Amino acid sequence: MKCVCRVRAGEIRILVLMDRLLSALALAALIVAPAFSQSGPAGPAAPAAEATPAAGMAKTSGVVIAVDAAAGTLKLKDKAGMTMEFKIGPETKVMRAGKTLKPGDIAIRDKVRLLRYDRRTHQAVRIELAKR
């Protein structure tokens, strides 16, 4: 079998130019990438106190399926059926109908309208319970 490939001179020039352009872009990406990395050189680090309070925070809602104030744990089940466990303690702010409660006042089957927590540690910061 004989393969006949016809490529015009203009097409070869375009392919060569595209190859050079892609090579230049790849090289530029390798040079610039460290500037955008988190560990790369940057200006002076901002103090932790200046970080936004919502950084690393998340929120959820659901129904309390288990609570152990002595051990400092709370388990919630959300509408999708997923269960999550959180750490609670005296620093956790618990509210119901505008009144401040203690973590020990949370009961099984309480509906949690809003639970703000730290994503890394799962430490509950604020819990808003629905009215009974």
Residue with tokens 């690393």: 56
C-alpha span between 30 and 9 (Å, rounded) = 32
Q: Is the pLDDT of residue 119 over 80?
A: yes
Residue pLDDT, tens place only, 26-71: 877 778 777 666 554 455 554 444 334 466 899 999 999 999 988 9
Domain-wise residue ranges, the chain: 57-129
Asked if 73 contacts 85 with a C-beta cutoff of 8 angstroms, the reply is yes
Identify the residue with better confidence: 3 or 48.
3
pTM above 0.85, yes or no: no
* Coil, helix or strand at residue 119: coil
C-alpha span between 65 and 10 (Å, rounded) = 72
Q: Is the pLDDT of residue 14 over 90?
A: no
Q: Is the pLDDT of residue 116 over 80?
A: yes
What was the pLDDT predicted at 48? Answer: 44
- Architecture of the domain defined by 57-129: Beta Barrel (2.40)
